[in-house]
């Protein structure tokens, strides 16, 4: 458990991603809103917040040495970043090397993608939360790493999609608590093996298929067939295998604190202008059992796909479908 009570320092620094070589726009996805950019946008999002530095090509998912190098910090545009030198590893023991490149305290936790509504709700209220108890299948963590410091840990990962995330929290200049997760500090890691992602999950292509799955008793998930696509026109085929409608929004990784505050505090399922987070709502209210394909032009960088519709829990509280598990980060290269 951590309880970081910091004032966000002026955000400076240079965002670099060790596995890519282009200056990028960063990403975010959203779900369930109006006044979004046209789903068949022909102009690539323009983002000038940071530059990714060239790096040695990352090892492939089949490389025997399962090591993931992670960096975290604050980007000049205000969002908090997390980068890794590979997006896939073989199932088994994996070693994580974490470096805090920022000015604030950051951390990384590794766990299967899942419903984290309770954890985020507690952190947004600046309340204590036992991450080890709330995050199922935790594979390892490096908590409360101070600026300029590093940490190494290992875990055994079964096949599936995992999340690398910072769940620290800080306070803005007005004294309001925010979570680093809502600032954009999370990644998706594919763990290759029987019953999990295929080795082709990091093979770039101009198509990306996503299955929406889950039920009321489980996490709601977006399951992609790959985490890397080629820059330019990308066709997203989305299938809703659930019992309720969902949206599908693509955006550069970016600060979503305003979106979270607006939608959850107001209990608003629709009406958010996703242009404020540089997002494009490709599909709105995709009905159960239906599939649809939309194309979007994307520049190199890291992007988030998510559903930002608002649901109601049994106790009457509002939650984002994204927090319930409908999210993943992918790379455009």
Render pLDDT for 259-301 as a digit per residue (tens, 0 to 9): 999 999 898 988 899 999 999 999 999 999 999 999 999 999 9
pLDDT higher than threshold 80 for residue 8: no
Give the Cα separation of 67 and 93 in Å (integer). Answer: 9
Chain-wide mean pLDDT for the chain? 85
**Residue % of the chain over a pLDDT of 70:** 80
Give the Cα separation of 82 and 301 in Å (integer). Answer: 12
What is the architecture, at CATH level 2, of domain 67-332? Sandwich (2.60)
What is the b/e burial string over 171-194, where b = at least 16 CB atoms within 10 angstroms of the residue's CB?
eeeeeeebbbbbbbbbbbbbbbbe
CA atoms within 13 A on the CB side of 82: 30
Read off the pLDDT of residues 120-178 as tens digits, 9 standing for 90 and up: 999 999 998 999 999 999 999 999 999 999 999 999 999 999 999 999 999 999 999 99
What Cα–Cα distance (Å) separates residue 321 from each residue in 17, 247, 291, 306? 28, 9, 18, 8
What Cα–Cα distance (Å) separates residue 220 from each residue in 101, 149, 216, 246? 32, 35, 8, 10
Task: Report which secondary-structure segment, H or E, holds 210.
Answer: strand 207-213
What is the b/e burial string over 260-271, where b = at least 16 CB atoms within 10 angstroms of the residue's CB?
bebbbeeebbbe
Residues 6+ apart with CB under 8 A from 285: 32, 245, 246, 247
Give the Cα separation of 212 and 318 in Å (integer). Answer: 20
With cut-offs at 50, 70 and 90, classify the pLDDT of residue 217: confident
SS3 content of the chain, % helix, strand, coil (to 5): 10, 40, 50
- Ranking 14-18, 233-237, 322-326 by mean pLDDT, the lowest is 14-18
94: which DSSP letter? E
Which structure tokens are listed for 281?
């709502």
Cα R_g (the chain), whole angstroms: 18
Which structure tokens are listed for 54?
């060239």
Domains of the chain, by residue range, sit at 67-332
Q: CB 64: neighbour CB atoms within 10 A?
A: 7
Residues 6+ apart with CB under 8 A from 70: 82, 83, 84, 96, 97, 98, 99, 108, 164, 187
Q: What is the pLDDT of residue 33?
A: 37
Sign of CA dihedral 116, 181, 87, 281: positive
Q: What is the pLDDT of residue 65?
A: 56
Q: How many residues does the chain have?
A: 333
Which structure tokens are listed for 92?
């088994």
């Amino acid at each position: 458990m951590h309880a970081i009570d910091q004032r966000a320092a002026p955000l400076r620094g240079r965002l670099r991603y060790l596995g890519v070589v282009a200056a990028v726009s960063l990403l975010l996805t959203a779900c369930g809103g109006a006044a979004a950019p046209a789903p068949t946008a022909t102009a690539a999002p323009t983002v000038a917040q940071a530059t990714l530095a060239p790096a040695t090509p990352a090892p492939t998912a089949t490389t025997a040495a399962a090591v993931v190098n992670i960096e975290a910090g604050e980007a000049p545009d205000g969002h908090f970043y997390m980068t890794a030198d590979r997006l896939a590893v073989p199932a088994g023991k994996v070693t994580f090397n974490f470096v805090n490149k920022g000015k604030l305290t950051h951390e990384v936790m590794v766990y299967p993608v899942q419903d984290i509504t309770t954890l985020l709700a507690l952190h947004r209220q600046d309340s204590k939360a036992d991450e080890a108890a709330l995050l199922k299948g935790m594979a390892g963590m490096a908590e409360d790493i101070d600026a300029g410091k590093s940490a190494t840990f290992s875990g055994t990962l079964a096949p599936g999609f995992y999340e690398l995330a910072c769940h620290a929290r800080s306070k803005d200049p007005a004294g309001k608590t925010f979570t680093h997760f809502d600032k954009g500090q999370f990644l998706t890691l594919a763990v290759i093996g029987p019953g999990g992602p295929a080795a082709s999950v990091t093979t770039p292509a101009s198509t990306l298929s996503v299955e929406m799955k889950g039920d009321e008793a489980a996490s709601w998930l977006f399951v992609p067939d790959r985490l890397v696509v080629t820059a330019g026109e990308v066709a997203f085929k989305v299938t809703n295998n659930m019992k309720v409608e969902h949206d599908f929004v693509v955006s550069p990784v970016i600060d979503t604190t305003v979106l979270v505050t607006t939608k959850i505090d107001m209990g608003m399922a629709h009406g958010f202008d996703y242009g404020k987070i540089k997002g494009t709502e490709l599909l709105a209210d995709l009905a159960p059992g239906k599939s649809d394909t939309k194309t979007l032009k994307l520049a190199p960088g890291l992007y988030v796909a998510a559903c930002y519709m608002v649901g109601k829990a049994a106790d009457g509280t509002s939650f984002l479908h994204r927090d319930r598990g409908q999210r993943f980060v992918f790379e455009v290269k």
